[in-house]
Amino acid sequence: MKHLLWLLLLLPALVHAQALSPVNCAPAVPCSLSGPALTGTGMPLWQDFGIINANNSALNTVLAVPFANSNIPVPAYPETAAESSAGSTPVTYIYPQGNPLRYMTATQIADVMMSDASVDVSGAIQAALNVGGQVLVPCYVYRLASSVTIPPGTYVTSGDCGGSGIPTSYGATWQCDLAVTGACVTLGSASANNSSAGLTHLTVSRASGTPPSGSIGVLVQGLFDPVLAWVRSRNHSIGFEFLANVPGGLAAQVNNLNTSLISDAHIVQNTWPELKISSSRFGGESGDYSSCNTYVRIQGGSATSSTAGPNSLYLVNDQFDQNGSTCAYFLSFVNQTADAVSSLDDYVVADSHVETVGTAYIHSDSTWPLIDRVRISNSDFNTTGIDFFALNAATGVNRWQLSNNTIEGSFTLDPHSTGSISNVTMVGNLIFQTVTITGPDSSFDFSSVGDEWVGNGSLAGTFRNLIMASSVPVTSFTNTAAATRSLVAPNGNATLSGVVSAGAGFTTTSVPGLTCTYSTGGACVEATAASGHEARLEIAGNGNTVGTTSFQVRQTTANEAILGNLADAALRLETDGSDRVDVPATGGLAIDAPTSGVALQMPVTTVASLPSCTSSIKGAMYPVSDASSPTYGGTLTGGSSTYAIALCNGSAWVAH
């Protein structure tokens, strides 16, 4: 009602808006930028309207039109050079350049102010945008029967919609008709070629109903560092699409985006090289949601330009949540241009929350041969009953790092028919369902350190380097993996293999504080080496490093078993800190006889049970219990009850 009364009051001025003539603010007092209206001394009604173009230094005198048969002035802003150049002719001169109402008829203004969205104003909106510069959109609902484009050099924002004196989060609403195909709003253009434009504090919506397939809320195209913040995209097939036209379109750092009622993809990165999205919320709530294919789709590329994307995506401090419905995937890598050239891949998800995913978190199709350099950290993946991956058999992964994440679903990495898997590192993740890691070949490096596998866990297949030092349920963990070098220590129960000499081209693996619990039927610690290399287990204490003086357990290439070290091969056995048996490097054997206990005890046999004395065992000694009248150096005979020491002299057993 208030808006209608204002319109009735202004109607004569609107009708005669183009008949411009200078008027006075008061009798004989001209209206100017420094005149009474700005100093508070003009006529009260003039002051109520205000002069809102005070910063427009191009105007020396404010023009006005009077009411019919009245001397009450109404401010009017003459056509500017920029408007003339753009072909944007004002219709209602009481609004300054930069206000879309300036290009609307009285009927259109009435519809906008009543928020009926029944009269198309897309032509007036486009006229304001074509002029360029700053466009301030009053807080109403605007019907768009056709799409609009924000050209390079134009920056659009909405005013105070809540009466607080500051812009409201998502401000005014531009509502496209349901029949509008393609983008409702385009920021930039195919020919923008890395210039800039901006859109802030605005809602881009579509009329009620099912949005057309391929329809887009906001299309960002061909710009460099566009300004995009506090924008809501609602009821479209695609919420926001970032499209690069080689060579146009490079970097975008956007924030506080919001989507709801999206039927296909909330975000599409299409050939756009560098995209960073932060502090945003995708999905809708309170019934304002619909099922979709993916939250984020990465696609496109160029077969000719190494500067083309997609090659960098950062999602930081974002929330992805459909509430009452699901998106099939979180990240979907699809539709890559054949033979695409990309100089860098860098995909980052950090400090984010993802849920209501229906099929898998990360997905690919056969057009993506490799997804490289993925870093996911400090994020929650809060949907149970799905796997983390749904990668196509042709897609390889390389240099993936996952740290400090909570994953409610399962986690499966397995061999692919054509895509390779290599260099996957996991640290400090909490995974609630089954973890299955299968190495595809001897080029795969995998490590899991400090993770907690709450569900079943298994390692299988072939690896190059395999490190697993995480917490898992002991009764539900299996390890049948084969690796060139591995350290597998679930819950501190370790299997160590592949630690060989540096001379074979490998480095030494150190395990500080390793606790090993022996289990029946298997070795606690295993060390194996390939053919032609010796196996070695080395221990260094007291702050020393592993080297020639450390204790070693070795099997040489000649199958000799050795205890000792490379320096002197000395061996000492101790109990209670005292020497008991000492084998010095110079040879011999020293036995320390304690005050209690046994110094040296040998098995006792009979003369008849002694092995044949030949030169091969010359010097061997055995205690016998049945010597008959033994004499020193004499040949031993049995059958009696005398204890004696039998010594092999190379041909016969004699008493010693």
pLDDT digit string, tens, across residues 243-274: 987 666 688 999 999 999 999 999 999 999 89
pLDDT digits (tens, 9 = 90+) for 281-302: 999 877 777 899 999 999 998 8
For residue 168, the tally of other CB atoms under 10 A from its CB is: 18
- The pLDDT value recorded for residue 40 is 36
- Residues whose CB is less than 8 angstroms from the CB of residue 2 and which lie 6 or more positions away in sequence, other chains included: none
633-638: average pLDDT: 91
Parallel, antiparallel, or unpaired: how do β-strands 495-497 and 482-488 relate? antiparallel
Looking at per-residue pLDDT, the higher value among 184 and 165 belongs to 184
Q: How many CB atoms lie within 10 A of CB 550?
A: 15
Name, of 15-24, 95-104, 565-574, 593-602, the range with top average pLDDT. 95-104
Could you tell me the pTM of the whole model?
Answer: 0.72
Cα separation values, 351 from 228, 280, 378, 535, Å: 21, 12, 5, 45
Between the two ends of the chain, the Cα-to-Cα distance in Å is 128
- Dig out the tokens for 616 from the structure: 């091969």
pLDDT for 613: 94
Q: Distances from the Cα of 471 to the Cαs of 462, 479, 494, 638, in angstroms?
A: 22, 14, 12, 63
Residue 617 has pLDDT above 50, yes or no: yes
Q: Over the stretch 496-532, which tens digit does the pLDDT of each residue have?
A: 444 333 333 333 444 444 444 444 444 445 556 666 7
Least confident of 47-51, 75-79, 354-358, 522-526: 47-51
Q: How far is CA 63 from CA 44, 58, 87, 97, 655, in A?
A: 17, 13, 21, 14, 137
User: Which of 515 and 441 is assigned the larger pLDDT?
Assistant: 441
Q: What are the Cα distances from residue 319, in Å, to 84, 121, 165, 230, 355? A: 45, 34, 29, 15, 9
| Cα-only R_g, the chain | 42
Output the pLDDT for position 512.
43
Per-residue pLDDT at 574 exceeds 60: no
Cβ neighbours of residue 200 closer than 8 Å, sequence gap 6 or more: 155, 156, 157, 158, 167, 227, 228, 229, 230, 231
Degrees, nearest 5: CA angle 629-632-634? 70
CA–CA separation, 478 and 497 (whole Å): 16
pLDDT digits (tens, 9 = 90+) for 98-142: 999 999 999 999 999 887 889 999 999 999 999 999 999 999 999
Do 280 and 256 contact (CB within 8 A), yes or no?
Answer: yes
Question: Is the pLDDT reported for residue 355 higher than 70?
Answer: yes
* Overall average pLDDT of the 209-234 stretch: 95
Q: Which of 298, 408, 282, 407 is nearest to 348 (CA)?
A: 298
Average pLDDT, the chain: 79
> Quick one: pLDDT at residue 291?
92
When pLDDT is averaged across residues 350-361 and rounded to a whole number, the result is 97
* pLDDT > 60? residue 580: no
Instruction: Specify whether the backbone of 123 is left (phi greater than 0), alpha (psi in -120 to 50) or beta.
Output: alpha
Residue 427 pLDDT greater than 70, yes or no:
yes
Any idea which of 62-66, 445-449, 622-626 has the lowest mean pLDDT?
62-66
Of 580, 597, 598, the C-alpha closest to 589 is 580
Min mean pLDDT across 12-21, 403-412, 576-585, 645-654 is at 12-21
- Residue partners of 391: CB distance under 8 A and separation at least 6: 362, 363, 364, 371, 397, 416, 419
Instruction: Dig out the tokens for 503 from the structure.
Output: 């001379």
Summarize the confidence of residues 140-160 as an average pLDDT. 93
Query: What are residue 545's phi and psi, to 5 degrees?
Result: -100, 160
> What per-residue confidence (pLDDT) applies to 284?
81
pLDDT tier for residue 421 given thresholds of 50, 70 and 90: confident
The answer to whether 488 and 519 are in contact (CB under 8 A) is no
- What pLDDT was estimated at residue 7? 41
Q: Is the pLDDT of residue 13 over 50?
A: no
Distance CA 494, CA 652 (A): 51
The pLDDT-based confidence of 174 (bands split at 50, 70, 90) is very high
What is the percentage of the chain residues whose pLDDT exceeds 70? 69
Query: What does the pLDDT look like over 448-507, one tens digit per residue?
Result: 999 999 888 888 999 989 988 887 765 578 888 888 887 777 765 544 444 333 333 333
CA distance 432 to 411: 9
- Pairwise pLDDT comparison (552 vs 188), residue with the higher score: 188
Which of 7-21, 146-160, 334-348, 548-562 shows the lowest mean pLDDT across its residues? 7-21
